[in-house]
Amino acid sequence: MIGKSKIIAGVEIGTAKVAVLVGEVRNASSLNIIGFGESSSRGVMKGAIFDFKQAGEATHAAIHAAEKQAGAHIEGVYLAQAGAHIEGFYNEASVSVSAATNLVGADDIRRVCENAKAKSLPEDRTVIHHIRRPFRLDGRTVPDPEYLEGGKLEVGYWIVHGSVREVGNSIRVINGFSLHVDDLILSSLASGVMVAGRGEMRNGVLVIDIGCGSTDFAFYRDGYVVRTGTLPVGGDHFTNDLSLGLRVTRSQAESLKVNAGKAILDPEDKGKKVWLSGDLSIGDRQIPRESMNKIAHARARELFELVKKKLGENFTPEKAAAGVILTGGGARLSGMASVAEDVLGIAARVGENPSWVTDELRGIEYSTVLGLLNYGLKTENDRGSSGEKEKTGGLLRRMTRIFDRTS
Amino acid sequence: MSENGASGEAEKAPVTENGGPIGVGIRLFGLGGAGMNAAARLSLQGLAGIELHAVNTDSQALSRCSLEHKHLAGEGVTRGLGAGGDPELGQRAAEAERGEMERWMAGADVVFLVTGLGGGTGGPLARVAAEAAEKAGALTLGFAVMPFSFEGTRRRRQAEDALAALRQVCSAVVPLPNDMLLQQLGEDAPVLDVLRKSDEWIVRAVGSIRDVLCRPGQINLDLGDLKRVFPKPGGKTLCGFGSGEGERPADNAFSDLLMCPLLHTPEFASRADHLLVNVSAGPDLAINELHKLADRIGEHFGRDGRFALGAAIEDGWRGRVEICVLGASDIGGGSTASDRRNSAAASSQVPASRRSTPERAKKRSSSGKQTTGPTKSSQEEFGFEETTDKRGLFDRSESNTFEGEDLDVPTYFRRGIRISL
């Protein structure tokens, strides 16, 4: 293992952009980003691929650019998953400790994990993640139950699953470039790792990744993922609302949103106006800032209300002591954090990527693709240290192979 | 507004015994409670030359209605007590009246149906009325007032189903979402103002079509032209108004048209295959200005299919221009593209035998000016397929409902938040 380096890659086929990062893992422990490629996405709406050919072309352009910069060939990629087709549920199981000594053995742990994961899904669904929560031994939470004494061992999983068709589409795009998919990673988990620290995950933190086509969230508590979810609402909806409400074209709405948009009803903007294009051309007109704010505010409020609804009773302000972290391009809209704070009742802030990330990738819209590489590094780590306790995504590997074969 | 200026003149025009202008029989039916009330209010707004009817299942409400032509529908089904928001009951009442409806429609050339779709009566009555009107060979234009989002999911779904059904049988349907009307007025507007606002749109559309048909214009349009703009039911309708004054009234009217809220609601098409443009202007509008205006409108709303332009000169309107754009698209009905192509080809090749309604076919072929051959009509269809992706960002994506609300529809719109421009 020593001195060996491996090339890994992360690909995010988003609604706005396709981002590809190439990293070099040294000694299965350190990561060096060596290539970055980006293209504007086409054929993707609300996080789902609707035009396979266009999405494929955009992805290939980004992969090509990243490979060129890295001067290396990618073989496999870690692929982000988002979109409305993704759902999750919680399932748990318990076993009686089998040894006469009442000491938990590796076999007990294996059995309880398998039971908790063995929930069959409808044929058109496929598992993306089995996210384990801490073990409980006779009701006590224990990080590692092996060799501990007890009678009843319990464990629960948050199981994230997606539509076979949608997941398959994104895998096929990658396969179409003669690459294989190493693993699928939920966007919100990828970005969550980048913007939230371990301490925050322990204290309870809600990461909301507002993309262009969809919003994904992950709620961490005691260092574990408790719940994930996705909403088919993103930055595009803000633009579309502005375009309809202000009766401007979509590109005008986008530029208004980026340059002058606010998600809060700022009293200072009362009576203020902003030029639509500002180039004194015919048809240019002044747009009241107040109206823009109202439109964006209504959408932002609703977005966080929906997140709150989706989280249900599992989420209370006390359970998320570290607050809310917003990430993704949609979080760039001014005032989003304050609306989130207002709706969710806890402190909210816009996240930042870690300081080691180069300036080019510091923008929060890159936290997902950075997180993919981070996940890849972790996987390599696990492979490096032989004590691989949990195989990440056993079922998933089968799925990626199925698509390798059929494509 | 054009209809005010228009009414005076139209009143002087010769009329037939039923009140309609000679040549074209125009009737407007207010169906169900909301439709009936709207028709009654419209009667006060000078829609001269149009025969107004009210149809309802509620005899008490009907007795309070001031219109001359009143019809109690489905007396045997609801005993004159209304349908109570039950569409099944409304459906039975409407079916019971089918024969009668056909009688009321006889001899009509253009039929306007005005109805509210949230309740139980309007939808089914309008559908049966539209079918009867089609049988009579009339061009049928529906105005459907859609319930507020806050009226609840059930009513909204009911209204959407009714709208889809109505689109199948009307030449064109203009949905008037109450959400949008409220939008225009603000959250604290009294209910009556919201209703008046919807009346205003109906009056403008009805008045404009009446003007197209009944008043001699600089560039005249007749019933045949109108019918060619709405060749087949089922599609989304485009409907917009603009008016402009000042130094460059044509430019201002066009800008105003682009801002028309009707063109910016999710239920509307933003481009159409077939377009009818009616321009009313003062005598100072130069012909090349009109030409330029028509060009811009065609470019903006689509002129891949039929494009009909009418222009009327209003003597007292120096420095003033009003535009009414009505359009139809072939998309959206239950029929497939090839289906439509076949029927389009059939309608221009085979006169009467293959049509579903012989009377209507006869009328259409007698109007003579069929200029489009089968090849051209299939090109139109093709041209249309290319333009579909320009229709709103989420038009082509799957519906996005959460707890009964379509999240793709702007939030401010669903919440009735007023946006001033």
ipTM score of complex: 0.81
Q: At residue B32, what are phi and psi to the nearest 5 degrees?
A: 75, 175
B286 touches chain A (CB under 8 A): no
pLDDT value of residue A327: 94
Q: Does residue A53 sit in the same domain as residue A170?
A: yes
Total domains, chain A:
3
Q: Does B98 touch chain A (CB under 8 A)?
A: no
B113 close to B130: Cβ distance less than 8 angstroms? yes
Vertex A58: Cα angle to A57 and A59 (nearest 5):
90
Contact A50 B402 (CB under 8 A): no
Give the separation between CA B127 and CA B355, rounded to whole angstroms.
Answer: 20
Q: What CA–CA distance (Å, rounded) separates B32 from B72?
A: 10
B411 with A50: Cβ contact below 8 A? no
Q: Å from A2 to nearest chain B CA? A: 51
Residues A44 and A168 in one domain: yes
Looking at A138, A161, A184, the residue that finishes a domain is A161
Report the range out of A45-49, A168-172, B190-194 with the highest average pLDDT. Answer: A168-172
Residues in chain A: 407
Answer whether residue A217 is part of any domain.
Answer: no
Q: What percent of chain A has pLDDT over 90?
A: 44
Mean pLDDT in chain A?
A: 86
Q: Does A239 lie at the interface with B, CB-CB under 8 angstroms?
A: yes
Residues of chain B found within 8 Å of residue A276, distances taken between Cβ atoms: none
Contacts of A231 in chain B (CB under 8 A): 402, 407
Both A49 and A148 in one domain: the answer is no
- The domain boundary residue, chosen from A327, A349, A371: A349
Question: Phi/psi at A287 (nearest 5 deg)?
Answer: -110, 130
Asked if B392 reaches chain A (Cβ–Cβ under 8 Å), the answer is yes
Q: Does A288 touch chain B (CB under 8 A)?
A: yes
Contact B421 A84 (CB under 8 A): no
**Yes or no, beta carbons of A240 and B392 under 8 Å apart:** yes
B413 shares contact with chain A (CB less than 8 Å): yes
- CATH number of the domain that A78 lies in? 3.30.420.40
pLDDT at A384: 63
* Run of H or E residues at A31: strand A30-40
Chain B residues touching residue A239 (CB < 8 angstroms): 393
Domain coverage including residue A138 = 87-161
Indicate whether A91 belongs to any domain.
Answer: yes
Same domain, A333 and A387: no
Residue A209 lies in a domain: no
Contact B419 A302 (CB under 8 A): no
Chain A residues closer than 8 Å to B149 by CB: none
Tokens representing residue A243 in the block: 């375009």
Q: Does B394 touch chain A (CB under 8 A)?
A: yes
A52 and A130: one domain?
no
> Is there a contact between A294 and B421 if contact means CB atoms under 8 Å apart?
no
Angle (CA) A214 A215 A218, round 5°:
140
Does A257 lie in the same domain as A131? no
Predicted local confidence at residue B11, as pLDDT: 38
Looking at the structure, tell me whether residues A334 and A260 fall in a common domain.
yes
Return the minimum-mean-pLDDT range out of A2-6, A130-134, B99-103. A2-6
In a domain, A212, yes or no: no
- CA distance linking residue A185 with residue A208, whole number of Å: 16
Residues A331 and A252 in one domain: yes
pLDDT greater than 90 at residue A13: yes
Comparing CB atoms, the residue among B393, B407, B421 nearest residue A247 is: B421
Does residue A220 lie within any of the structural domains? no
pLDDT tens readout for residues A174-229:
988 888 898 999 998 999 989 998 899 999 999 999 999 899 999 999 888 989 99
Residue-level pLDDT, tens digit, chain B, 421 residues: 333 433 333 333 444 444 444 567 889 999 988 888 888 887 877 677 788 888 888 888 888 888 888 888 877 777 777 766 677 888 888 888 888 888 888 888 889 999 988 777 888 889 999 999 888 888 888 999 888 777 777 788 888 888 888 888 888 888 888 777 777 776 677 777 777 777 888 888 888 887 777 776 667 777 887 888 777 776 778 888 888 888 888 888 888 888 887 877 766 666 777 888 888 888 888 888 888 888 888 888 877 777 888 888 777 778 888 888 888 876 544 333 333 333 333 333 333 333 334 443 333 333 333 333 333 333 333 323 222 232 356 665 666 777 767 788 888 877 777 777 7
Is residue A144 pLDDT above 50, yes or no? yes
Strands B307-313 and B405-406: unpaired
DSSP conformation class of B58: B
CB atoms B407 and A237 under 8 Å: yes
Same domain, A66 and A146: no
Mutating which of A41, A163, A302, A304 best tests the B interface, going by the most B Cβ atoms within 10 A? A302
Using CB atoms, pick whichever of B258, B407, B417 lies closest to residue A232: B407
Asked if B94 and B124 count as a contact pair (C-beta separation under 8 A), the reply is yes
Residue A204 lies in a domain: no
Furthest CA-CA distance within chain B: 61
Pick the last residue of a domain from A161, A182, A210.
Answer: A161
Same domain? For A47 and A184 the reply is yes
Using an 8 Å Cβ cutoff, are B307 and B211 in contact?
no
Decide if A245 and B400 are in contact by the 8 Å CB cutoff: no
Q: Is residue A222 part of a domain?
A: no
A203 in a structural domain: no
Mean pLDDT of A309-329: 90
Tokens representing B332 are: 């959206």
Residue A244 with chain B: CB contacts under 8 Å: 264-266, 392, 410, 413
Owner of token pair 């700022």: A266
Q: H or E element: which one contains A128?
A: strand A125-132
Is A30 found in the same domain as A68?
A: yes
Q: Do A40 and A171 fall within a single domain?
A: yes
> B-chain residues within 8 Å CB-CB of A243?
393
